[in-house]
A = this chain, B = another copy of it.
Amino acid sequence: MSKKDKATIHDIANKLGITASTVSRALNNHPRISARTKELVHEAAKEINYKPNSFAVALRNGRSRLIGIIIPTVNRNFFSSIVRGIEEYANQHDYRVVITQSYDNYEKEKQTVNALIDAQVDGIMVSLGKNTTALTHFKKAIERGIPLVFFDRVAEELPVSQVVIDDFQAAFQMTEHLIQQGYRRIAHFNSPMKINIFQERLRGYRQALENYGLKVDPELILYSNLQLEDGRESVASLLNQGIPFDAIFSASDYSIVGALQELKKNGIKVPEAVGLAGFGNEPFTEFTDPPLSTVDQVSIPMGQSVAKMFFDLLESEEKSLPIQKVMLRPKVIFRKSTQKIASNPVAKIAPATPF
């Protein structure tokens, strides 16, 4: 309405009786500009509230100072915390962040990648959708020379840097914990998807059983989409088929809550008759009755790690692009839902194990 016209370097130039070139150089601290002029320019800039036009800069320099994040959904504690970590780091470096959601939908993910490329982001950080199999859309970005970093849900086939947590270790520790508590017929809920995180969790589960001389019973491994309803159904299925079990380790917090509800409905006591452990440390795992043991995916450190890796990559660009892989140590949290041994009624949190 009123002062809709933004100040430009030309306004500064006119004000001072010099040219825009000089103003530009002064603002960019060019060595061939006198200290006095720089001073004047900065003053004038402040006075008329000059802000560089980001589009002009982007057009001229070919760098947008925009980075894209692709995550399955923002509505998960884990992802939103990561985003927060990235955002803070990026803002400090004067970059803006575009958050996009794939909703675990392959088509949407493809569109999103293309949209980001068209938007000319300077780089993309991705956590893959559950249903993503083909990766051509990312190859396109790589060909374009757009830096790429994967986190959590990654694709091993692509030559890109990545940050993950040690899902194997976490699953191993949780399963081990269940065994040590005295549970013997431990069921496992997992996803049929071919994503690293689920496969690693399964591997950890198996390894723990084997290490303790327990048989891995295929009947006890149930595949589903790991939502709340899936958890209920999986438990119902076990009960209906009369398959005995005394604990469940789920690769997702959601399905373990479903399991809890179904068990309660059938009058089965947790943790006395059946122990329950989830994965993800969603906030609600603390609110259930009993509170659920779970795995914290150290989202904040992951966000920072991703951002740092990314900006390292940005700067090293045009030179060699060393592919980095960082694996963070998750935190296994033991709560009441796995306390068959009632020795220690206080929930305890595993200390951050050093690397």
Contact = CB atoms under 8 A, between A and B. Distances in A.
A96 B116 CA distance: 9
Given A84-B101, A288-B289, A64 B55 contact: yes
Contacts of A51: 118
B54 A56 contact: no
Interface in A1-30: 1-4
Interface in A28-74: 51, 53-56, 58-59, 64, 73-74
Residue in A51, A260, A287 with the greatest tally of chain B CB atoms within 10 Å: A287
A159 B87 CA distance: 31
Interface stretch (A75-83, A181-189, A323-331): A75-83
Contacts of A58: 55
B143 A115 contact: no
Contacts of A4: 144-145
Interface string A228-254: 100000000000000000000000000
Interface residues of A, number: 46
A119 B261 contact: no
Interface string A288-331: 11000000000000000000000000000000000000000000
A141 to B, nearest CB: 11
Contacts of A87: 100-101
A98 interface: yes
A99 interface: yes
Contacts of A208: none
* Number of copies of chain A assembled together: 2
Nearest to A282: B284
Nearest to A99: B99
A215 interface: no
Given A228-B287, A287-B287, 5 more contacts: A1-B143, A3-B144, A75-B80, A80-B80, A87-B100
Closest 8 CB pairs of A and B: A284-B284, A75-B80, A289-B289, A55-B59, A55-B58, A55-B55, A1-B145, A74-B74
24 contacts: A2-B145, A3-B143, A3-B144, A4-B145, A53-B120, A54-B118, A54-B119, A54-B120, A55-B58, A55-B120, A56-B59, A59-B59, A74-B74, A75-B77, A75-B80, A80-B80, A91-B115, A96-B98, A96-B115, A257-B287, A260-B287, A261-B287, A264-B289, A288-B289
